[in-house]
Amino acid sequence: MNSSARHRRLTAAALTALAVTATATACSSGSGGTGAKGAGNGTYTIWDPYPQFDRSSAWVKLLDQCGTKAGVKVKRTGFDTGDLGNKTLLAAQQGNSPDVLIVDNPVVSTLAEAGVLTTTDDNRLDTSTVDPNLLAAGQSGGKTYGTPIGANTLALYYNKDVLKKAGVDITSVKDWNSLTAALAKVEKAGHKGITFSAIGTEEGSFQFLPWFWGAGARLTELDSAQAVSALSLWKDWLKNGYAPNSVLNNTQTTSWQEFASGDYAFSENGTWQLAGAEKAGFDYGVLPIPGVHGGNAAAPTGGEFVTIPVQKDTARYATAQKLATCLTSTANLYTTDTTLSYVAPTGAVQAQQVAANPRLKPWVEAVKAAKGRTSDDLGTTYPKISEQMWKAVQAALSGSKSPKDALSSAQAAAK
């Protein structure tokens, strides 16, 4: 693609899509800085969404090691997750894209459709060992635009003491009916049931998706009977006192704080809360979110992709590919994903993680069942669909509309 054609595709629609998808907090974030591409063929720029890591961190040391291995100097800049996509679009407009870009997975299709990223056919990144369901988050129009560095997703944390006092055997929780029955027992025993985030942002959609997909619903049909059943499940939990009204305003962080109080039996949350779970002061377990009739529901994948942006000087791709390959190699993924609290995107490294920490086993199972939010070739249409989804969840849970009416309105608006 020539430069002028690529720049014409950097549209306002792409900026809008990035503004919406950047609000989810399923991935690392923090305060970022600015950076510019290094001069000369001996310096290669890498942008990532991990500003919390300084030069003394294992992550930045790995970047330098990969640079040394490739025979170049690495200039790295860490940005806030919410800023990185827009800064990447601006850099592409100015012809100053980084050589390697590590970016939140829902943003990949937006940047790809804007003509910012090279495909793996062009850059020769090997993705053959990556789990296909995780790789799908970086695919659009039949092309693949990078490789995942790691993944996180959602599951159900549970408080073993609360369940024991309520007489609930966690092995009995296999589907929606048995989960709801467990919540009823917990509530009857004088404890609190389940907490989650249903806030009117991408976080709310992110947390609703496992139930939506677990019912068999599709994002192209928000008002299907399956979708209505998923929203009705949440609505009934609030009506019966199994979930608190605070879920309407809960972020994933405040929802976790409720669970960490020790009062709740269950919390829907992610791998990024593992450190907090260890410090909570009570014995906990993790259960993949069940589908309506059993099995593991597909939960949305969080995590980043390592991509190679389009450059005017195509000779730079060979070294950029070496850097990207080094960062995602089996030898480096284990340490990197442990640092980032991610499940690795390959079976070999996942096995290493579980061997070192058996508590990760249910998370590996959840990630294997997970699904990219932009999968099914939704691309830049996902943010619009997601916005209508979280509005429907808010309307139904607040009581302003029935689940059916809320989702009918959402589907009409999404079209």
Query: Are residues 164 and 105 both part of a single domain?
Result: no
Concatenated DSSP letters for 94-126? Answer: TT---SEEEEEHHHHHHHHHTT-B--HHHH---
Q: Determine if residue 167 is left, alpha or beta; phi over 0 gives left, psi from -120 to 50 gives alpha, anything else beta.
A: left
Q: What is the CATH number of the domain that holds 305?
A: 3.40.190.10
Domain containing residue 73 = 3-152+301-369
Note the pTM of the prediction, 2 decimals: 0.83
Q: Is the residue at 181 inside a domain?
A: yes
Question: pLDDT 10s per residue in the chain (415 long)?
Answer: 333 333 334 444 444 445 444 444 444 333 333 334 443 469 999 999 999 999 999 999 999 999 999 999 999 999 988 789 999 999 999 999 999 999 999 899 999 999 999 999 999 999 999 999 999 999 988 999 999 999 999 999 999 999 999 999 999 999 999 999 999 999 999 999 999 999 999 999 999 999 999 999 999 999 999 999 999 999 999 999 999 999 999 999 999 999 999 999 999 999 989 888 989 999 999 999 999 999 999 999 999 999 999 999 999 999 999 999 999 999 999 998 988 889 999 999 999 999 999 999 999 999 999 999 988 888 888 989 999 999 999 999 999 999 999 999 999 999 8
Q: What's the pLDDT at 378?
A: 86
Measured CA to CA, the distance from residue 276 to residue 255 in angstroms comes to 13
Query: Are residues 319 and 293 both part of a single domain?
Result: no
Q: Is the residue at 210 inside a domain?
A: yes
Q: Is the residue at 374 inside a domain?
A: no
Structure tokens, 96 = 């100053």
Measured CA to CA, the distance from residue 93 to residue 80 in angstroms comes to 20
Query: Are residues 324 and 265 both part of a single domain?
Result: no
Structure tokens, 187 = 């509530």
Q: How buried is residue 107: exposed, middle or buried, by Cβ count under 10 Å (0-12/13-18/19+)? A: buried
Q: Determine if residue 265 is left, alpha or beta; phi over 0 gives left, psi from -120 to 50 gives alpha, anything else beta.
A: alpha
Query: Are residues 135 and 55 both part of a single domain?
Result: yes
Residue type, 62: L
Q: Determine if residue 124 is left, alpha or beta; phi over 0 gives left, psi from -120 to 50 gives alpha, anything else beta.
A: left
Q: Is the residue at 101 inside a domain?
A: yes
Query: Are residues 184 and 211 both part of a single domain?
Result: yes
Query: Are residues 318 and 274 both part of a single domain?
Result: no
Q: Is the residue at 31 inside a domain?
A: yes
Query: Are residues 238 and 355 both part of a single domain?
Result: no
Query: Are residues 120 and 227 both part of a single domain?
Result: no
Q: What's the pLDDT at 25?
A: 40
Query: Are residues 176 and 91 both part of a single domain?
Result: no
**Cβ(92)–Cβ(116) under 8 Å?**
yes
Query: Are residues 128 and 48 both part of a single domain?
Result: yes
Query: Are residues 44 and 140 both part of a single domain?
Result: yes
Q: Is the residue at 237 inside a domain?
A: yes
**Cβ(353)–Cβ(360) under 8 Å?**
yes
Query: How many independent structural domains does the chain possess?
Result: 2
Query: Are residues 320 and 401 both part of a single domain?
Result: no
Q: What's the pLDDT at 30?
A: 32
